[in-house]
């Protein structure tokens, strides 16, 4: 055999090996359990109530039929120490600007510190009417991405924001983003909170050297394997209209930390409009990220996610059947 033939065999072997590794590390989201389709609220505490119907990729979703301006989805895992401040700011803004026209969906991702009970207690403290704050308890931990996806797919608002439970981003900054969606609700759009303008501020400079190195390393990987047009993919403050939710989240595979990148990949693949908005952000103690372990996991998930779409392992209709089964 000629050298060219050997080269072809070698390249095919390498590609087959990479393909096999990507399949091995790829993700399939688990089905929702029956209990995860219900929520509790600050009524008598003994009843559960049914969530809104799951949004699917076949929905013609404009949100125009919704009575709610906005849904806020808050993924939580052991957040009793941080959730209170976030809800204080969130409810103050929403009561001032969207009174009677909002909902807050707390997705408790298998917490062991009674986060769900804390959220109900906080709703009473803030004098929120029943069924405005809804607590969904996942029967088994799915990861932040899985919790966010679950909440957004059951959101009722014309718009839906996912916001981290730590309150690191100033909640009222959502007011900068909402006007972006004012026209043409049938056109899918995504608004992203961005901390890119803070790169030389104390909030970033005073981070540990190791944390900053890992942050810049992840950003480099995101640029190479994922998104080139978005400066800050990881900020936990993103707003979607209902049309964007129906085109993105029924297809989500990744349920862990790097899910933000898949969200943006799916948006770019479908030519969905994306715009970044500068937000005020501060570092909050109590992060659940293990720098060593989770940085490696995020890097692997990032590379696998990008290659899975390139190889056709992940497809836009990959999770459609899952969505239909869960209706």
Domains and CATH numbers, the chain: 3-325 (3.90.550.10)
State the pLDDT confidence band at 320, using cuts at 50, 70 and 90.
Answer: very low
pLDDT band at 197 (very low <50, low <70, confident <90, very high): confident
Q: Which of 264, 258, 260, 265 is nearest to 299 (CA)?
A: 258
Please, which residues have CB within 8 angstroms of residue 144's CB and are 6 or more apart in sequence?
A: 75, 77, 109, 255, 256, 257, 259
Q: Outline where DSSP puts E strands in the chain.
A: 38-39, 49-50, 70-76, 102-108, 133-137, 159-163, 189-194, 237-241, 273-278
Q: Which of 97, 95, 103 is nearest to 127 (CA)?
A: 95
Q: For 72-95, what is each residue's pLDDT tens digit?
A: 999 999 999 999 999 999 999 999
Q: What is the pLDDT of residues 208-230, one digit of tens each?
A: 556 666 666 777 777 776 677 88
- pLDDT band with cut points at 50, 70 and 90 for residue 1: low
Q: What percent of the chain has pLDDT over 70?
A: 84
The DSSP code for 185 is: T
The mean per-residue pLDDT over the stretch 180-185 comes to 90
Closest CA to 232 of 290, 274, 170, 272: 274
Q: Who contacts 165 (Cβ-Cβ below 8 Å, separation ≥6)?
A: 74, 75, 76, 79, 82, 83, 86
Write the pLDDT tens digit of every residue in 262-313: 999 999 999 999 999 999 988 777 666 666 666 778 888 888 999 999 999 9
pLDDT bin (cut points 50, 70, 90) of residue 8 is confident
Take residue 7 and report the two structure tokens written for it.
């080269």
Which among 30, 212, 4, 175 is positioned nearest to 97, based on CA atoms?
175
**Mean pLDDT over each residue of the chain, to the nearest integer:** 87
| SS3 (DSSP) at 40 | strand
Given a contact cutoff of 8 angstroms between Cβ atoms, the answer to whether 240 and 275 are in contact is no
Residue 161's Cβ-side half-sphere holds a number of Cα atoms within 13 Å equal to 28
pLDDT over 60 (residue 188): yes
In angstroms, what CA-CA distances link 256 with 149, 266, 288, 300, 309? 11, 16, 12, 11, 17
| DSSP output for 125-153 | HTTPPBTTEEEEE-SS---HHHHHHHHHH
- With a CB cutoff of 8 Å and minimum separation 6, the contacts of 175 are 93, 97
């Amino acid at each position: 055999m000629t050298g060219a033939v050997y080269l072809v065999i070698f390249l095919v072997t390498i590609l087959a090996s990479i393909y096999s590794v990507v399949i091995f590390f790829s993700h399939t989201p688990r089905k929702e359990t029956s209990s995860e389709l219900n929520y509790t609220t600050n009524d008598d505490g003994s009843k559960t109530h049914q969530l809104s119907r799951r949004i699917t990729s076949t929905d013609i979703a404009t949100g125009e039929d919704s009575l709610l301006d906005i849904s806020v989805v808050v993924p939580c895992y052991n957040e009793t120490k941080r959730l209170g401040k976030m809800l204080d700011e969130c409810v103050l803004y929403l009561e001032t600007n969207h009174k009677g026209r909002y909902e807050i969906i707390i997705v408790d991702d298998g917490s062991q510190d009674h986060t769900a009970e804390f959220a109900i207690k906080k709703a009473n403290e803030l004098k929120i009417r029943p069924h405005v704050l809804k607590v969904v308890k996942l029967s088994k931990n799915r990861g932040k991405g899985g919790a966010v996806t679950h909440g957004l797919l059951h959101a009722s608002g014309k718009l839906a924001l996912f916001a981290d439970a730590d309150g690191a981003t100033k909640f009222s900054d959502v007011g900068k983003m909402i006007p972006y969606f004012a026209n043409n609700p049938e056109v899918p759009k995504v608004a992203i909170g961005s901390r890119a303008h803070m790169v030389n501020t104390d909030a970033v400079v005073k981070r540990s050297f190791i944390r900053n190195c890992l942050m810049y390393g992840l950003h480099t990987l995101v640029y190479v394997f994922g998104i080139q047009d978005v400066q800050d993919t990881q900020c936990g403050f993103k707003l979607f209209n209902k049309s964007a939710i129906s085109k993105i989240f029924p297809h989500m595979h990744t349920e862990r930390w790097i899910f933000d990148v898949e969200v943006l990949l799916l948006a770019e693949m479908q030519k969905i409009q994306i715009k970044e908005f500068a937000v005020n952000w501060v570092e909050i103690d109590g992060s659940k990220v293990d720098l060593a372990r989770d940085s490696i996991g995020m890097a692997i998930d990032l590379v696998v996610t990008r290659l899975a779409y390139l190889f056709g392992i992940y497809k836009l209709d990959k999770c459609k059947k899952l969505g239909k089964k869960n209706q």
